[in-house]
Amino acid sequence: MTNVAMADYRTLANALFGGGAPGVPGASTPSTVSWEVDWHDVLSTGSFRDDAVGFAMDYKQTRAHLNWSMREADFTFVSEGSHQFVPSFGYALIAKERSGVFL
């Protein structure tokens, strides 16, 4: 995805409460966000089904790499690509889920 329009609220508190009430965001600045995800190395595959709650999913656990950037009038953030892998959380889940009437 490239140059997706977003509102930058600067802080989580401003995004959630900045407008004076819970769920009412405060002031924001127009910005754009771009990202690219590379999924690779399938580590495992599986399925899960829970008929009691009406949910099923087929999945692949993979490794993934994410490059992202954010641009605003005054500045730009860019991810540092070579330091993204964290061994204890270093995987992604690609899933097809079904729920409700689609189950």
Pairing of strands 92-99, 76-78: unpaired
Q: For residue 95, is it within any domain?
A: yes
Closest CA to 45 of 57, 58, 56, 60: 60
Q: Which residues of the chain have pLDDT under 70?
A: 81-90, 103
pTM of the shown model: 0.64
The pLDDT tens digits of the residues spanning 31-58 come to 999 998 888 889 999 999 999 999 999 9
State which residues form the domain around 39: 31-102
Q: For residue 4, is it within any domain?
A: no
Q: For residue 7, is it within any domain?
A: no
Q: For residue 82, is it within any domain?
A: yes
Looking at the 3D structure of the chain, how many domains does it have?
1
